[in-house]
Amino acid sequence: MSYLGLVGLFGLIGLTGLLNKVHPSQSGGPIRLLGLLGFLGLAGFWFPPIGACGAFGALGVWNHQNSKISRLAYLGWLGIIGVIQTLIFYL
């Protein structure tokens, strides 16, 4: 269960989409705001299942114009693990 908190730190990858600006004509500007969900990953130090949901923050770079950064968006799907574990915890 302790690994779940570390999964959420992948969400901080989404902050690279906010720091490395893309050309304004490229679509998906509001999607890059998903990178802010990466801060939810920091909650994983106290409550690992909620922290793992923070991995969804990595989805904020899915259409970044830099291909190296955009490939990291696939790590955002690890947030599904956090949702499932949170539901198991509360049910």
Q: Is the pLDDT of residue 32 over 70?
A: yes
From residue 62, alpha-carbon distances to 3, 30, 45, 51, 91 in Å are 24, 12, 26, 21, 32
The CA distance from 30 to 22, in Å, is: 12
Confidence of residue 55 (pLDDT cuts 50, 70, 90): confident
Confidence of residue 74 (pLDDT cuts 50, 70, 90): very high
| CB-CB contact of 54 with 78 (8 Å) | no
Q: Is the pLDDT of residue 17 over 70?
A: yes
Overall residue count recorded for the chain in this entry: 91
